[in-house]
Amino acid sequence: MAKFNNSILKLFILSLAAFALYYVLLFCVFGIKTPRRRQLEERSAMLDIRQKEIESKMRHAFAVLDELQERDNNIYRPAFGMEPASFPQFLTGGMDQLFSLAESQGKSYDEIEPISESAGKMSSCVPSIPPLFLDQIHMTSRFGVRSDPMSGDAKVHTGVDLAGKEGIHVFATGDGVVEKVDIKFTGYGNEIVINHGFGYKSRYAHLKSTIVHVGDRVKRGDMIGYVGSTGKSTGPHLHYEVEYMGKKVNPLNFFDSEMGAEEYERLVKEGKK
């Protein structure tokens, strides 16, 4: 009986060894996979493909957001006189970062939307026509460094000087509100400053007299005064300035100095409608 039991035990051990050898040969040496292993590997391969697809889409999304930020800060916001937006710095490139950037971009567009809706109004406020009939005047001094007519010293001229007969009409160059009317014998002499909004202001100096008051709303082409030679002046002319976001800019950038009299008169009449 004992010999019989020993024989069975040996047979069992040999069977296990044979099975183990069969397993090693079948699955390790010859590379045959079990159904479960094949299933897990297929699942892993699918997840790997899916992960690569997600990473590719995220890289594309970051690239799109980066382009939107460039357009936002270099095109859209400057067009409406807005300061550049501040966006989160690119760190991990993860999903949280993507959501944060998208949220910041959305907030930026929310700021731009009400301003862009008033773009039509802005176009009529920008000081974009000459302040005088061009066939009645000639330019005696441009924007930039020049020799001061009084002292002869080199100084920055913050506007343009348009000489003409005393008493010719001066027009508002854009819609706005009269911010300042100054009557004096020094400096700019009799002057008017119009706040056009959207960061723009215009100044009309050395006037003979003015016909507007502080707080008056004016439209492009409205007459506001008469050319004179008050203040620091050597003869009848209009000193005209344009200011944008607190900085004096070249007024010639806003109108065509070669514009014909008929074209200018048409623009003035359109402004009065």
pLDDT over 90 percentage in the chain = 29
Give tens-digit pLDDT for 160-219. Answer: 999 999 999 999 999 999 999 999 999 999 999 999 988 899 999 999 999 999 999 999
Task: Give the least confident one: 7-21, 23-37, 202-216.
Answer: 23-37
Q: Rounded CA gap, 40 and 24, in Å?
A: 20
Angle among Cα 202, 185, 197 to the nearest 5 degrees reads: 15
Read off the tokens for 15.
Answer: 């069977």
Select from 187, 203, 207 the least CA-distant residue to 249. Answer: 203
Angle among Cα 36, 42, 46 to the nearest 5 degrees reads: 145
Q: Rounded CA gap, 178 and 57, in Å?
A: 54
Domain boundaries, the chain: 33-117, 127-272
Q: Rounded CA gap, 150 and 161, in Å?
A: 14
Give tens-digit pLDDT for 42-84. Answer: 787 787 888 788 777 777 777 776 776 776 666 556 655 566 7
Q: Rounded CA gap, 178 and 253, in Å?
A: 22
Q: How confident is the model at residue 257 (pLDDT cuts 50, 70, 90)?
A: very low
Output the pLDDT for position 155: 77
Please say if the pLDDT value at position 4 is more than 60.
no
Angle among Cα 25, 26, 31 to the nearest 5 degrees reads: 100
- Give the SS3 label for residue 237: strand
- Higher-confidence residue of 138 and 5: namely 138
CB-based contacts of 241, cutoff 8 Å, min separation 6: 158, 159, 202, 203, 205, 248, 251
- Higher-confidence residue of 196 and 20: namely 196
**Has domain 127-272 been given CATH number 1.10.260.40?**
no
Structural contact between residues 198 and 225, judged by C-beta atoms closer than 8 angstroms: no
Output the pLDDT for position 190: 97
Please say if the pLDDT value at position 27 is more than 50.
yes
Give the orientation angle of helix 35-71 with respect to helix 95-117, to 10 degrees. Answer: 30
Output the pLDDT for position 49: 81
**Does an H or E element contain 194, and which?**
strand 190-197
Give the chain's mean pLDDT.
Answer: 76
Select from 221, 214, 206, 117 the least CA-distant residue to 175. Answer: 221
Please say if the pLDDT value at position 238 is more than 80.
yes
Q: How confident is the model at residue 271 (pLDDT cuts 50, 70, 90)?
A: very low
Give tens-digit pLDDT for 130-153. Answer: 899 888 888 888 887 766 665 556
Read off the tokens for 221.
Answer: 């082409």
Q: Rounded CA gap, 44 and 141, in Å?
A: 77
Instruction: Name the CA radius of gyration of the chain, rounded.
Output: 39
Output the pLDDT for position 46: 84
Output the pLDDT for position 222: 94
